[in-house]
Amino acid sequence: MATGPTANRPLTKTFCATCQQAFTPRDAMQIYQERYYHPHCFCCSSCGNTLAGKPFYPKPNNQFQCEACNHALAPTCCICNQKIQSGTAAKRYQDRHYHSGCFRCCKCNAVVPDGHNFVDMLDGRFQCLTCSHHITGSYQGKEHAPHLENILGEIVPVQCDQAGRIPICDKCARPVSGDEDAFKLETRYYHLECARCNRCRKKLLRVPCRKLGSALVCHTCS
């Protein structure tokens, strides 16, 4: 979730990212990720209410949602029946949504890791591959891989933990120094230069993406 702060007025001629009209010296101005907006143009893509000075959720294609619409339109996990809020790790399988932590093997109760295959027991339950082989020596049901939801990462300042340790880039395994910003996706950190799609090499700083094993993949390539 983000907020829409009022921007310091730039010295050069600036255009609204929504209506493409130039700002006059008297126009109020909002800024988000180096894009400028008129307050009445910076609005929820679902209900149309202005987001100026209010919390909001960024969406693909330079769209935004207010808190109320984001909660109302969020999918429901079919295991716990709770809303899956933006930025939450989630899976989708056969048009049904799950929190990543709710998608578990019915035998050992272990979470099926993101990107790992599983066995559909064809009765609403799932098994990890280990339990399926262990019980029968062969697969029961049909093996599938869940569709992982694409989410937006965020650019954050690097902070040490309580022990004074700095995060390690999940891509190159080198430390992310405290004098630079980092790209954060869920709980993983990346150097800004390492935050690229593993397939098309596009930078992922404002692009919905997901982890695929040890790789990052943009929403176009996934």
pLDDT of residue 109: 92
Instruction: Take residue 53 and report the two structure tokens written for it.
Output: 């000075």
Shared domain for 161 and 189, answered yes or no, is: yes
Residue 137 placed within a domain: no
| Residue 102 per-residue DSSP state | G
Residue 81 placed within a domain: no
Residue where a domain terminates, one of 26, 48, 73: 73
Residue 59 φ/ψ, nearest 5 degrees: -125, 165
Residue 145 placed within a domain: no
The tally of domains found in the chain comes to: 3
> Which residue blocks in the chain are alpha helix, DSSP H?
67-73, 129-136
Residue type at position 171: K
216: left (phi over 0), alpha (psi -120 to 50) or beta: beta
Residue 85 placed within a domain: no
Instruction: Take residue 102 and report the two structure tokens written for it.
Output: 């709710």
CATH code of the domain containing 124? 2.10.110.10
Shared domain for 170 and 202, answered yes or no, is: yes
Range of the structural domain that residue 171 is part of: 150-221
Residue 27 has pLDDT above 70, yes or no: yes
pLDDT of residue 129: 80
pTM equals 0.46
Residue 142 placed within a domain: no
Of 176 and 213, the one with more pLDDT: 176
pLDDT in tens, 124-167: 788 888 887 644 444 444 444 445 567 788 888 887 766 677 78
Shared domain for 201 and 154, answered yes or no, is: yes
Shared domain for 165 and 204, answered yes or no, is: yes
pLDDT of residue 214: 66
Shared domain for 3 and 56, answered yes or no, is: yes
Shared domain for 55 and 102, answered yes or no, is: no
Shared domain for 103 and 155, answered yes or no, is: no
Residue 184: its H or E element = strand 181-185
pLDDT of residue 80: 92
Residue 83 placed within a domain: no
Shared domain for 65 and 126, answered yes or no, is: no
Shared domain for 108 and 176, answered yes or no, is: no
Shared domain for 212 and 161, answered yes or no, is: yes
| Chain centre distance of CA 121 | 29
Angle at 219 between CA 69 and CA 190, to 5 degrees: 95
Residue 139 placed within a domain: no
CA distances from 67 to 20, 100, 150, 189, 206 (A): 26, 22, 19, 26, 20
| Residue 137 per-residue DSSP state | S
Residue 2 placed within a domain: yes
Shared domain for 59 and 18, answered yes or no, is: yes
Of 115 and 199, the one with more pLDDT: 199
Shared domain for 58 and 94, answered yes or no, is: no
pLDDT of residue 26: 84
pLDDT in tens, 155-208: 888 877 666 777 888 888 888 877 778 888 877 888 898 999 888 888 888 788
Of 69 and 5, the one with more pLDDT: 69
Residue where a domain terminates, one of 31, 46, 73: 73
pLDDT in tens, 47-92: 989 888 888 888 777 788 888 888 888 889 988 999 887 777 888 8
Confidence of residue 222 (pLDDT cuts 50, 70, 90): low
